Amino acid sequence: MAVPKGKQSKSRTNKRFANYKATAPTLVECPHCHELMQAHRVCKNCGYYDKVEVVAQSDAKK
């Protein structure tokens, strides 16, 4: 079994996790409706992905 040579201090252990941060999602412009959307996802505004309507939008939303 692997056995550590000695105890790591709390500060040394916490340094490892100090660089783990949440990042904001990358937003791109929808080529169909020009709204901001996440890359490689269906546009929530118009329902298009790669110039094809994937999700039909109801008239009640518009």
What tens digit of pLDDT does each residue of 2-55 get?
Answer: 888 899 999 999 999 998 899 999 999 999 999 999 999 999 999 999 878 888
Burial of 59 (0-12, 13-18, 19+ CB in 10 A): exposed
Residue 14: DSSP 8-state: H
**Residue among 62, 44, 42, 45 at smallest CA distance from 54:** 42
Read off the pTM: 0.56
Residue 49: DSSP 8-state: E
Q: Could you give the CA distance from residue 22 to residue 26 in angstroms, rounded to a whole number?
A: 12
Give pLDDT, residue 60: 47
Give pLDDT, residue 1: 82
Give yes or no for residue 56 having a pLDDT over 70. yes
- The better pLDDT of the pair 57, 35 is held by 35
